[in-house]
Amino acid sequence: MTAVRIALVQQHASSDRKENLERGLDAVRSAAEMGAELVCFAELAFEPFYPQEEAPENPLDLAEAIPGPTTESLAAAARELGVVIVPNLFERDGAQTYDASPVIDADGTIVGVTRMVHVPDYEGFHEKGYYTPGNRGLPVYETAAGRIGVAICYDRHFPEAMRSLALGGAQLVLVPQAGVIGEWPEGLFEAEMRVAAFQNGYFVALCNRVGKEPKLEFAGESFVCDPEGNVIARATRATDEILVGDLDLAAVKRSHARRLFLPDRRPELYAAWMTRKVVAGDEPATGDGPSSEATVTLREISQENLRDVMALSRTLPPGQDRMVAPNAVSIAEAHFSDKAWFRAVYADDTPVGFVMLYDNPEEPEYYLWRFMIGRPYQGKGFGRRAIELVIGYVRSRPGATELLTSYVPIEGGPEPFYRKLGFVPTGDVHEGEIVVRLEL
């Protein structure tokens, strides 16, 4: 088979999962009537986009097993209609949950499940609280519609992931996406995938969510590009639509990447390159960074580590950078206050954050003045363990009975973090910030 027609189902999702799935099944039937041999859905197509909110206490309650009720319904449709179906679900596997795309072949068989490998966490996309990083690599599946790989949403930003799918022999890479209006600079949304298609010599089909939800509005604008990077099909913005694209899989073999780029690779060099630490200007060298099992300590800031600690502020994503002053400002303030106690947060031997206390034993009064963990090190438990060390320090101080702090009450703020540590609101508001208290 060289000619394949695919369909991308760009649809909104309500809080009614049953109705979402019914509309999805209707779309599969419509796509099959249009001649589609493969039908792909967007990220979490049959349910609300949960990560727009902080994760609840037990996100397992929102997830479902694969195979499970949703995949059984889709597999029945695949068998009936003779089409390949690739949905995206919030998967539960034991005590873990994943952002997962099962690949259902045209006979209704689940040939495999791709799990998102890289998990982000920033305002509106609080995904680390929901998803465990994928543990199955990035397989390529032999299906009735060709050799298919899946790069789920955030994974598309990693050239290593996109290249691995080419090396696995993918002819088509599906990208289930949850992209919002105005998320990226003009043109970049498509350009990134066009370059990936050109560099790797495969078709890329990105299927995006659409619709306004409580905190996000998803853009739609799904598209398909060929192995030379040309966009060959494009959906409209902000409307439900079934986008059809006709692929000539023979173009994969003829592509620049398969004739030139891939044969000319020098993989014997790359292992050393890819394990180097990341250094960009004054950014801290992080590489993969310390593991979640690293030992967390609080260390004095010296001339040797000052630049690395200050540079951590530049790693914060938009939104978080409005919640705390830059570390350089905090350190400068500390030098003009005899009540300031400040330290670098370390994970093993890597500086990962900064903490500063108002430390006044005469009153006595103890206040968590500033606290941050750099973006590359979030989601590993370093922040919680650092605050536990601070709490231990304060408990050792004269007359300490409580630790106070405050936070900016905005979406994606640290309120859940402090609540889990036992801080409770005092009822006071200081310069627009909510004051909370931990009894020692």
pLDDT single digits (tens) 89-110: 999 999 999 999 999 999 999 9
Residue 381 lies in a domain: yes
Phi, psi of 158 (to 5 degrees): -105, 110
Q: Average pLDDT, stretch 1-30?
A: 96
Confidence of residue 276 (pLDDT cuts 50, 70, 90): low
pLDDT in tens, 26-79: 999 999 999 999 999 999 999 999 999 999 989 999 999 999 999 999 999 999
Last residue in a domain, options 274, 309, 330: 274
Residue 393 lies in a domain: yes
Do residues 269 and 407 both lie within one domain?
no
Do residues 97 and 241 both lie within one domain?
yes
Last residue in a domain, options 221, 239, 274: 274
**Domain coverage including residue 10:** 3-274
Residue 366 lies in a domain: yes
Do residues 255 and 353 both lie within one domain?
no
Q: Say how many C-beta atoms besides its own lie within 10 A of residue 408's C-beta.
A: 15
Do residues 260 and 221 both lie within one domain?
yes
What is the domain-level CATH number for residue 379? 3.40.630.30
pLDDT in tens, 139-183: 999 999 999 999 999 999 999 999 999 999 999 999 999 999 999
Do residues 206 and 307 both lie within one domain?
no
Q: How many domains are there within the chain?
A: 2
Listed in sequence order, the residues at least 6 apart from 108 whose beta carbon sits closer than 8 Å to its beta carbon are 75, 76, 78, 79
Residue 103 lies in a domain: yes
Do residues 257 and 375 both lie within one domain?
no
CB-count exposure of residue 237 (10 Å: 0-12, 13-18, 19+): middle
pLDDT in tens, 223-266: 999 999 999 999 999 999 999 999 999 999 999 999 999 999 99
Listed in sequence order, the residues at least 6 apart from 231 whose beta carbon sits closer than 8 Å to its beta carbon are 190, 194, 223, 224, 225
% pLDDT > 70, the chain:
96
% pLDDT > 90, the chain:
82
Last residue in a domain, options 243, 274, 305: 274
Question: How far apart, in whole angstroms, are the C-alpha atoms of residue 75 and residue 113?
Answer: 14
Do residues 157 and 306 both lie within one domain?
no
Residue 210 lies in a domain: yes
Question: How far apart, in whole angstroms, are the C-alpha atoms of residue 151 and residue 177?
Answer: 9
Do residues 244 and 317 both lie within one domain?
no
Three-state SS string over the chain comes to CCEEEEEEEECCCCCCHHHHHHHHHHHHHHHHHCCCCEEEECCCCCCCCHHHCCCCCCHHHHCECCCCHHHHHHHHHHHHHCCEEECCEEEEECCEEEEEEEEECCCCCEEEEEECCCCCCECCECHHHCCCCCCCCCCEEEECCEEEEECCHHHHHCHHHHHHHHHCCCCEEEEEECCECCCCCCCHHHHHHHHHHHHHCCEEEEEECEEECCCCEEEECCEEECCCCCEEEECCECCCEEEEEEEECHHHHHCHHHHHHCCCCCHHHHHHHHCCCCCCCCCCCCCCCCCCCCCEEEECCCCCCHHHHHHHHHHCCCCHHHCCCCHHHHHHHHCCCCCEEEEEEEECCEEEEEEEEEEECCCCEEEEEEEEECHHHCCCCHHHHHHHHHHHHHHCCCCCCEEEEEECCCCCCCHHHHHHCCCEEEEEEECCEEEEEEEC
Confidence of residue 285 (pLDDT cuts 50, 70, 90): very low
Confidence of residue 431 (pLDDT cuts 50, 70, 90): confident
Residue 284 lies in a domain: no
CB-count exposure of residue 63 (10 Å: 0-12, 13-18, 19+): buried
Do residues 233 and 326 both lie within one domain?
no
What is the domain-level CATH number for residue 10? 3.60.110.10
pLDDT in tens, 194-222: 999 999 999 999 999 999 999 999 999 99
Residue 34 lies in a domain: yes
Q: Is the confidence at residue 281, as pLDDT, over 60?
A: no
Do residues 303 and 336 both lie within one domain?
yes
pLDDT in tens, 378-425: 989 999 999 999 999 999 999 999 999 998 887 767 888 888 899 999
Question: How far apart, in whole angstroms, are the C-alpha atoms of residue 284 and residue 176?
Answer: 32
Q: Which residues pair with 10 in a beta bridge?
A: 241
Do residues 203 and 321 both lie within one domain?
no
Q: Are strands 38-41 and 84-86 parallel, antiparallel or unpaired?
A: parallel
Mean pLDDT of the chain: 93
Do residues 182 and 58 both lie within one domain?
yes
Residue (of 132, 69, 104, 99) closest to 209 by Cα position: 99
Between vectors from CA 60 to CA 54 and to CA 65, what angle results, nearest 5°?
130
